[in-house]
Amino acid sequence: MKNLIILGSTGSIGTQTLEIVRNNPKDFRVVALTANSNIDLLRKQVEEFKPSAVAVADEAKADELEDALGISILKGEESLSKVCSSDEGDFVVNSLVGSIGIVPTLAAIKKKKTIGLANKETLVSAGELVMKEAKKNDVKILPIDSEHSAIFQCIGSEGKFVKRIILTASGGPFLNYSFKDLENVSVDNALAHPTWKMGRKITVDSATMMNKGFEVIEAMHLFDVPVEKIDVLIHPESIIHSMVEFVDHSTIAQLSHPDMRIPIQYALYYPKRVANALRPLQLDTLKTLNFRKPDLEKYPCLSLAFDAVRASGTMPAVMNAANDVLVEKFLSGEIRFLEIAERIRKVMGRHKPKRISSVDDVISAISWARSEAVKHP
Ligand code: MG
């Protein structure tokens, strides 16, 4: 029996995690649920799963839920770390969106809880720090991202024989658009992902391929591989979720239908595998799998991610925070699609990266970048 703390239980990964819990009540108990502001759904989840702790980041919404449920609710951003620091729970699913996910991960590591990681910012912005803490506390960080789960499964115990990691990418909704076509794409266009159904922020990040840039940085930290050994390959069908090439030129791939419940379940049950009712892969019906190199001119965010890694220190955190703000501005109609990358590049150009020695260094870089990203130009 695993005792779960689910950070961000009302989002896409959170609800799919709860679906697995619902189908396997003997294997999991939910001890804490947290949400940002979607208290209507959180209320239903609390009634169904009866966690002993509930936290809501938005304080006014927390008060509302407290009145509705008649139980005490932890309030504010710090409450997310509070549930991770408690003695209850041995496995934290971090499916928070944004840099709000970093500090709770560190709190959970200090309490030696296993981490199922779906929050990108934890490793993109604070990777070195987080991996060092995990090692020090002998804590496992299990990826809940289709690509990293695939790499994790392909590597197994052969980490020292890795020659190259090949991260696959669907190419997003704009795969067959030219750079010129991207000038006038709408929010709805960007949200129409061809293979994956995900939250709004990550769907835009897939359209710009910033998401893949994040995944390169995450893979570097998770698997302790230099960035030069990570390649990105566009694979529009999203069947191969990533591959690992070994020194003997044998390449291992992981395949499945694009369904996040597979990597979530793998992390929740690791190191076991259990049967489920999901759709099996029938390769004979697929006919072809396609691959091509990404066009870096069309996907400038992908280049920015490699630039950020090379600049190192606080630069990836700055890139990430600027992206957060600018994707939000794109979604609210304030800026055009191509301005996301243009403006991130400007913010990065104004930043002198510093070495990260504590989480405060990360947090101050993030707040600097957020305020810079709001300024124009
Ligand atoms: Mg992914």
SS3 of 229-252: the string is HEEEEECCCCCEEEEEEECCCCEE
Mean local confidence (pLDDT), 81-102:
95
CB 91 within 8 A of CB 114: yes
Residue 209 Cα to ligand 1 midpoint, Å, equals 10
pLDDT of residue 278: 96
- The answer to whether residue 363 is domain-embedded is no
Strand partners, 231: 166
Q: What is the DSSP string of 343-358?
A: HHHHHHHT-------S
Residue 308 Cα to ligand 1 midpoint, Å, equals 19
Residue 93 Cα to ligand 1 midpoint, Å, equals 16
CATH of the domain at 125: 3.40.50.720
Mean local confidence (pLDDT), 350-366:
96
For residue range 25-70, list pLDDT tens digits in order. Answer: 999 999 999 999 999 999 999 999 999 999 999 999 999 999 999 9
For residue range 162-173, list pLDDT tens digits in order. Answer: 999 999 999 999
- The answer to whether residue 43 is domain-embedded is yes
- The answer to whether residue 107 is domain-embedded is yes
Residue type, 131: M
Instruction: Tell me if residue 44 falls in helix, strand or coil.
Output: helix
Comparison of pLDDT for 197 and 85, the residue scoring more: 85
Mean local confidence (pLDDT), 6-20:
97
For residue range 279-296, list pLDDT tens digits in order. Answer: 999 999 888 999 999 999
For residue range 312-323, list pLDDT tens digits in order. Answer: 999 999 999 999
pLDDT of residue 257: 95
Cα gap 105→35, rounded to integer Å: 15
pLDDT of residue 197: 77
- pLDDT for 90 beyond 70: yes
- Cis peptide preceding 271, ω within 30 of 0: yes
Residue 241 Cα to ligand 1 midpoint, Å, equals 8
Q: Residue 196 — pLDDT band, cuts 50, 70, 90?
A: confident
CB 323 within 8 A of CB 210: yes
Residue 375 Cα to ligand 1 midpoint, Å, equals 30
Q: Residue 377 — pLDDT band, cuts 50, 70, 90?
A: low
Instruction: Tell me if residue 74 falls in helix, strand or coil.
Output: strand
For residue range 111-148, list pLDDT tens digits in order. Answer: 999 999 999 999 999 999 999 999 999 999 999 999 99
Residue 261 Cα to ligand 1 midpoint, Å, equals 13
Residue 370 Cα to ligand 1 midpoint, Å, equals 24
Closest CA to 305 of 345, 339, 343: 345
Residue 147 Cα to ligand 1 midpoint, Å, equals 5
pTM of the complete model: 0.95
For residue range 217-245, list pLDDT tens digits in order. Answer: 999 999 999 999 999 999 999 999 999 99
Residue 165 Cα to ligand 1 midpoint, Å, equals 14
Residue 152 Cα to ligand 1 midpoint, Å, equals 13
Residue 323 Cα to ligand 1 midpoint, Å, equals 17
Residue 70 Cα to ligand 1 midpoint, Å, equals 38
Average pLDDT of the chain, as a whole number: 96
- The answer to whether residue 81 is domain-embedded is yes
- pLDDT for 178 beyond 80: yes
pLDDT of residue 194: 80
Residue 63 Cα to ligand 1 midpoint, Å, equals 34
- The answer to whether residue 44 is domain-embedded is yes
Lookup: tokens for 318 = 């700055």
Cα gap 33→228, rounded to integer Å: 39
- The answer to whether residue 67 is domain-embedded is yes
Cα gap 39→69, rounded to integer Å: 11
pLDDT of residue 287: 84
Domain that holds residue 108: 2-143
- The answer to whether residue 68 is domain-embedded is yes
Residue 68 Cα to ligand 1 midpoint, Å, equals 36
- pLDDT for 98 beyond 90: no
CB 110 within 8 A of CB 85: yes
Mean local confidence (pLDDT), 201-215:
94
pLDDT of residue 193: 80
Cα gap 298→172, rounded to integer Å: 12
CA 54, 55, 61, 62: dihedral to nearest 10 degrees?
A: 70
Number of separate domains in the chain:
1
- The answer to whether residue 188 is domain-embedded is no
Cα gap 57→55, rounded to integer Å: 7
**Longest Cα separation, the chain:** 62
Lookup: tokens for 201 = 């922020």
